[in-house]
Structure formats: structure tokens, C-alpha cells
Amino acid sequence: MKNVLISGGAGFIGSNLALKLMKRGYTVTVMDSLEKQIHGETPEKDSPLYLSIKDKVRFIRGSVRNRRDWQQALEGQDVVVHLAAETGTGQSMYQIDHYTQTNVGGTALFLDILANEKHSVGKMIVAASRAIYGEGKYFCAKDGVVYPGDRLEKDMLAGDFECHCPICGGKVELRPTSEDSLIHPSSIYGITKQMQEEMFLLMGESLGIETATFRYQNVYGPGQSLKNPYTGILSIFSTQIKNGNDLNIFEDGLESRDFVYIDDVTEATALAVEKKLSKPMSFNVGCDRPITVMEVAETLKKFYNASINIKVSGNFRLGDIRHNYADLTRSKAVLGYQPQWSFQKGIEAFGTWVNGQEIQEDRYAQSMEEMKRKGLFK
């Protein structure tokens, strides 16, 4: 299996994966629509992500929502890594049709072709997301392992941001979230990712195609878009700091995520391309520990030697989760995945790259105003 198609292969994860696979001897085709929100107004001239793979891969400027684009891209392919998707959790809550048509509709077109037309695909991989979990796994002293639902607006308005046991209402302790945990996404984005994953797992079994789905945690690293205000908290904070703007930290700053460096993400994905998979499986990809938003903000401020203020506002976004970090037991055992990048090491590499970039316009406040008008930001 030497011919690999990467949909969304000019994106952050996709372009890095393309370069890694090429170094390992694979012939890579990329299909990407070069969306303005990620690549800017003139992507074929000045998108660093696209330019990093230009003339190195077979490139098709096409959309996953177009059957002919899929058909052209799939010619002669052994492996498909389906990364193309809209990815803004908050934005998905008011661009519902667009997210569903792209993420679910695009996946449906691909699988329909595999089910009904001649092809050479023997393995398929899709980027799911940690967002499919909603809140992660917790432990209640009274009720054992529990999965809290959405936090209530009235509680958060009163300053109570932590999750509570959905059975007794008591305190809970965070646990690493394993692949067999409850799936209960709290955003349209998360729902579309759940549907993508379930469609892949079902059709992989039905069609006899090796299948892996990846529940990536919060991916970051050099090359991540500094223009897109809807995804990537490290990029968002970096752009704000570079513009001399204060950071507004939501909730109490103690909400946490699993931040995983781009090289670890592409390595896990490349391992799935290379390994024989005995059955369709889902894999977590993370860094193995939760990191608070306040720690992210303070680390970036220190790295950039910035004089901006970090303000904990108590604001919150409906649909945001409180905590989630990955249990990597399965990924380590089946794929041999082992994260190599600590958060500190990753921040240094990312921050060094940011320091070499032109300062981008900070459009985050505009995105928050848009969410506020939709009633999603408090």
C-alpha cells in the first residue's frame, strides 16, 4: 500500500502528514479546497501550509462535497486518510447546515463511491475528534465512573464551572478518557465527527476495508493557522499576545485540555497507515496529561516576554466542556504510539516558529461578538 490520498491534505495536520509519509517512501495525493478561513484570500500564492507541499505531491483542488473530485482523487489509491472537515466547535453551533454538509455529507460521498464503484482502496483512516466524548470520564465516590452531561447555564452564571455527578449531584474526580467511554458530544461539530467515525467503522466492516478512526486531542504546533479565530487556543492566544492585546480567560481558567504536538499526531497516523489492522478500531491521540487554560496563557506570556494582562473573566461559551484528556493504553498497545513531545518542549518549538511569522490581525473579538449575537457566549 504505497499510494496515499489525504483529503484536507493542505491543512495543518494534512500537510505535515503528507511530508512525513513522503519521507517514508509513500506517493501522496492531496485533495483540498484551500478554504479562505484557513488559507487566506490567495492560498496558492501565500498559504504556508499549501506551499509546504506544492510540487511535492499530486495536488487536486477539490471539495469533499463534489463526487467528481472524489472520483478523480481516488484513482489508483491504496490508502485514504480523510482529514477534510470544518473544525470550529463554537462556529458549528450556528453554521449547522454547512458543518453537516461538509463533514457528514462529504464522508457519505466518499463511502458511497467505495460501496458502489470500482476502486483500489484497502485501508481508510478518518480524523474523528476528542469532541465526540463531550465531557470526559470522571469518578464519583458514591456512584463510581460517571459521564456528566452539559453544565447548566444557571450554575456557570453563579461561578460554578465544575462538573457534578449526573446521578447524585456530588463532586467528581477527573479520569483519563478511554475509547470505550460514553460518547455524548456537546456541539454540532462533535456530532458530525461522531457520525463520520461511526460511518467509517460500519462501512469498513461491511466492505472489508482496514479502518482506523483517530480521536485527536487539541493539536498544535508550527504551521497552525494564526488567521483562524475559531480553532486552536495556542494560535488564538499567540495572535492576541503578538497584537499586544490582553487575554480574556473564560470560566475560572482551570478548565483543561490534552494538548498534543503535531509531530506526535502525524506519527500516530503514519503508524496506522503502516500497521496491519485486524478490525476497524478507534484510537485516542494525546499527550497523556491535562493542562489548564491558565497554564497555557501564562506559559505563552512568559515565552513571548509579553507585558499583556491575563484576565479571568468568568465568561463562558455554551457547549464548551470542562475537562478531557486521553487514555492512550490502546494506541500504545496496538499502534506502538508513544508521545515524544512534552508540553514545555512543544511550546518552545511552537513559540519559536510564531516569533518568526508576520503578526496577523487579531479577529478573535469579532468571532466572540458573532457568538454573542447567537446567544452562545455569556
Give residue-wise pLDDT tens across range 252-292.
Answer: 999 999 999 999 999 999 999 999 999 999 999 999 899 99
Q: Is the pLDDT of residue 319 over 80?
A: no
Q: Is the pLDDT of residue 376 over 70?
A: no
pLDDT grade, residue 364 (50/70/90)?
A: low
Q: pLDDT (tens digit, 9 = 90+) per residue, 72-89?
A: 999 999 999 999 999 888
Q: Is the pLDDT of residue 229 over 80?
A: no
Q: pLDDT (tens digit, 9 = 90+) per residue, 17-34?
A: 999 999 999 999 999 998
Q: How many residues does the chain have?
A: 378
Structure confidence at residue 215 (pLDDT): 98
Segment 204-208 mean pLDDT: 98
Residue that wins the pLDDT comparison between 366 and 199: 199
Structure confidence at residue 141 (pLDDT): 98
Residue 360: HSE in the Cβ half-sphere, 13 Å Cα cutoff = 22
Angstrom distance (rounded) from CA 318 to CA 100: 19
Angstrom distance (rounded) from CA 64 to CA 82: 9
Segment 57-68 mean pLDDT: 97
pLDDT grade, residue 103 (50/70/90)?
A: very high
Q: Is 76 left (phi over 0), alpha (psi -120 to 50) or beta?
A: left
For 33, residues 6+ apart whose C-beta sits below 8 A from its C-beta are 61, 62, 63, 64, 84
Q: Tell the burial category of 118 from Cβ atoms under 10 Å away from its Cβ (0-12, 13-18, 19+).
A: exposed
Question: pTM of this prediction?
Answer: 0.93
Q: Place domain 3-136+177-314+322-373 in its CATH homologous superfamily.
A: NAD(P)-binding Rossmann-like Domain (3.40.50.720)
Say which amino acid occupies 307: S
Q: How many CB atoms lie within 10 A of CB 1?
A: 14
**CATH code 3.40.50.720 region(s) in the chain:** 3-136+177-314+322-373
Structure confidence at residue 36 (pLDDT): 80
Cell of 104: 457528514
The backbone torsions φ and ψ at residue 205, rounded to the nearest 5 degrees and listed phi first, read -65, -45
How far, rounded to the nearest angstrom, does the alpha carbon of residue 99 sit from its chain's CA centroid? 14
Q: Is the pLDDT of residue 378 over 70?
A: no
Q: Is the pLDDT of residue 1 over 70?
A: no
For 90, residues 6+ apart whose C-beta sits below 8 A from its C-beta are 187, 230, 317, 319, 320, 367, 371, 376, 377
**What is the dihedral angle through the alpha carbons of 20, 24, 25, 26, rounded to the nearest 10 degrees?**
-50
For 228, residues 6+ apart whose C-beta sits below 8 A from its C-beta are 37, 38, 88, 235
pLDDT grade, residue 91 (50/70/90)?
A: confident
Q: Is the pLDDT of residue 373 over 90?
A: no
Structure confidence at residue 375 (pLDDT): 74
Which residue blocks in the chain are alpha helix, DSSP H?
Answer: 12-23, 36-39, 43-46, 48-53, 67-74, 96-99, 106-116, 153-157, 188-207, 233-242, 262-274, 293-303, 329-330, 343-355, 364-373
Cell of 70: 472524489
Is the alpha carbon torsion for 71, 73, 78, 82 positive or negative?
negative
Q: Is the pLDDT of residue 159 over 90?
A: yes
Structure confidence at residue 368 (pLDDT): 66
For 55, residues 6+ apart whose C-beta sits below 8 A from its C-beta are none
338-341 contacts, C-beta under 8 A, 24 or more apart? 339/260, 339/261, 339/264, 339/286, 339/287, 339/288, 340/261, 340/263, 340/264, 340/267, 341/260, 341/261, 341/263, 341/264, 341/287
